[in-house]
Structure 1
Amino acid sequence: MKHLSIALGLLFALAATSHAEEIGSVNTEWKLTGSHKLVVEAFDDPKVEGVACFVGKPERGGIAGAFGVAEEVSDVSIACRQVGPIRFKESVPLQEDAFSERRSIIFKTLHVVRMVDRKRNTLVYLTYTDKIISGSAKNSVTAVTVDRATPIPVKD
């Protein structure tokens, strides 16, 4: 029973992840079985219309990368921008994962956390990776200021 609940929890976590759109990539190291590269992906904030985040991340090539079993490194960067009128689809918590993506078969996940800075009426986005047992302090942060005429609806 314990194993079943762990498996169901992992499946739920995988199903709950959002999908990003690849914008482009550059090769950083040529490999016969597939090059290592830097990839830029975009994702739209699922609760905030008019905000898109662009995440730069390395992807391993080689045999392990080709089969999707390589554990990706934790070096990620982020830039979020207003790309249209900002509208909130629903109230947002002061802090939550806006996007997440697996970076290895099971153990590593990339997170983009949306935080609300009420004082400055600003959405702050932090990206980092974690593992089931330990994570990395490598991170990147960006912010999108929301016009004062549009207060951020915070879910308390």
Structure 2
Amino acid sequence: MIKVNKIIAATAIFLIGRLAIAEEIGHVDTKFKLIGPDDKIVVEAFDDPGVPGVTCYLSRAKTGGLSGAVGVAEDTSDASISCHQTGPINLDPKIKDGEREGKNVFQKRTSLVFKSMQVVRFYDRKRNTLVYLVYSDRVIEGSPKNSIAAVPIVPWR
């Protein structure tokens, strides 16, 4: 049993280490709540952990109120993404060859247990462009709401 726990812990650390961590840039309130924080739109930024030189900006809905304050509220699936080249990009050959196609680069829990927002990276070889897709999913049923951003890979000055 101890070996199994160590393997699970090591796997979790490895997976967490491979996903980006977002930092909040700012937010705006969208709905007043008498008790607890207001509903808001949060703007966050994260650097792609597998492609140095790319930064993505997410805007997403965050539910307030008492349930939001204690972390049990379910956020809506509304999100938008904008990604940009912020430095030189040396693309990993595994990305170019399609071995890391549809790589999950960011994930955020948007409900207590069953719902999360994810950002997945694709590589468009024909156009030498990285494409980022943000969407929400649940254990049983996801949401068709999504947004994409494209980052053409160009020489950095």
Q: TM-score range by the shorter chain?
A: 0.7 to 0.9
2:29 alignment partner AA? N
User: CA separation in 2, counterparts of 1:137 and 1:12?
Assistant: 28
Q: CA deviation at 1:88?
A: 3.6
For structure 1, the residue ranges without an aligned partner over 5 or more in a row are 151-156
For 1:68 and 1:18, the matched residues in 2 are separated by: 21
Which of 64, 77, 86 is 2:67 aligned to? Answer: 64
Task: Select 2:132's aligned residue among 106, 125, 129.
Answer: 125
Change (3 A) 1:26 1:90: farther
CA RMSD, Structure 1 to Structure 2 (Å): 2.4
* Offset, 1:19: 1.7
The Cα shift of 1:85 comes to 1.4
Q: Render the CA deviation track for 1:58-91: whole Å, top value 9, x for unaligned.
A: 1011000000100110000000001111134673
Cα deviation digits, residues 119-155 of structure 1 (max 9, x gap): 11100000000000000000000100012x79xxxxx
AA at the equivalent of 1:67: V
**Which secondary structure state, in structure 2, belongs to the residue aligned with residue 57 of structure 1?**
strand
Whole-angstrom distance in 1 between the partners of 2:26 and 2:106: 19
- Partner Cα separation in structure 1 for residue 21 and residue 144 of structure 2: 24
Cα shift at 1:94: 2.1
Q: Deviations over 1:1-31 (max 9, x none)?
A: 9xx99xx59x939x62532000000000111
Identity of aligned residues (%): 48
**Which of the two has greater strand per residue?**
1
Q: Which amino acid aligns with 2:23?
A: E
| Structure 2: runs of 5+ lacking an equivalent | none
Higher helix share: 2
Equivalences, count = 143
Quick check: 1:18–1:101 contact (8 Å CA) kept in 2? Answer: no
| Alpha carbons 2:131, 2:149 under 8 Å: kept | yes
Kindly indicate whether residue 80 of structure 2 is the aligned counterpart of residue 77 of structure 1: yes
CA distance in 2, matches of 1:46, 1:91: 14
Q: CA deviation at 1:34?
A: 1.0
Q: Distance in 2 between matches of 1:82 and 1:19?
A: 18
Question: Residues 29-73 of structure 1, C-alpha deviation per residue, up to 9 Å, x if partnerless?
Answer: 111211000000000000111100000001011000000100110
CA contact (8 A) 1:47 1:90 kept: no
Q: In the alignment, which residue of structure 2 is the partner of 1:91?
A: 94
Alignment partner of 1:105: what SS?
A: coil
What's the TM-score once normalised by structure 1's chain length? 0.83
Is 1:106 aligned with 2:113? Answer: yes
Corresponding residue for residue 29 of structure 1: 31
